[in-house]
């Protein structure tokens, strides 16, 4: 769980990051967020060696959510070296989220090893 705006910026903006970051924007009172949390945890375990996962409580950090363009929760965003790679809004099934992670990892591998 993100504790400060500085912590969020450090994690998201790391241009030297070797792994993509999945950011879950949610709030404790949000029913769909409570349904999404276990899905994110399962996917985090599935891809634990390949991605980092953080959660941003929109109640505590509305300014971060606003800067990220979050207008509805839950929202999941993927970042790599400071660049937003993908966004998923609303409840999501594990298979859909896992496919999104796989796609982001594929895109990142192409960034790391550009074809000539």
pLDDT, averaged across the chain:
92
Helix axes 94-112, 31-46, angle to 10 degrees: 50
Give tens-digit pLDDT for 1-51: 788 888 888 888 776 678 999 999 999 999 999 999 999 999 999 999 999
Cis peptide before 116 (omega within 30 of 0): no
Could you list the active site residues?
Answer: 30, 33
> Which pLDDT score, from 0 to 100, does residue 12 have?
84
CB atoms near residue 48 (< 10 Å): 10
pLDDT in tens, 47-95: 999 999 999 999 999 999 999 999 999 999 999 998 999 999 999 999 9
pLDDT above 70: residue 115: no
């Amino acid at each position: 769980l993100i504790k400060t705006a500085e912590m969020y910026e450090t994690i998201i903006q790391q241009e030297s990051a070797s792994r993509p970051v999945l950011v879950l924007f949610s709030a404790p009172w949000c029913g769909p967020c409570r349904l999404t949390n276990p899905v994110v945890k399962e996917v985090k375990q599935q891809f634990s060696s390949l991605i980092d996962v953080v959660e941003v409580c929109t109640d505590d950090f509305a300014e971060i959510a606003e800067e990220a363009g979050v207008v509805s929760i839950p929202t999941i965003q993927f970042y790599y070296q400071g660049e937003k790679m993908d966004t998923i809004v609303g409840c999501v099934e594990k298979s859909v989220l896992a496919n999104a992670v796989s796609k982001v990892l594929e895109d990142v591998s192409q960034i790391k090893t550009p074809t000539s």
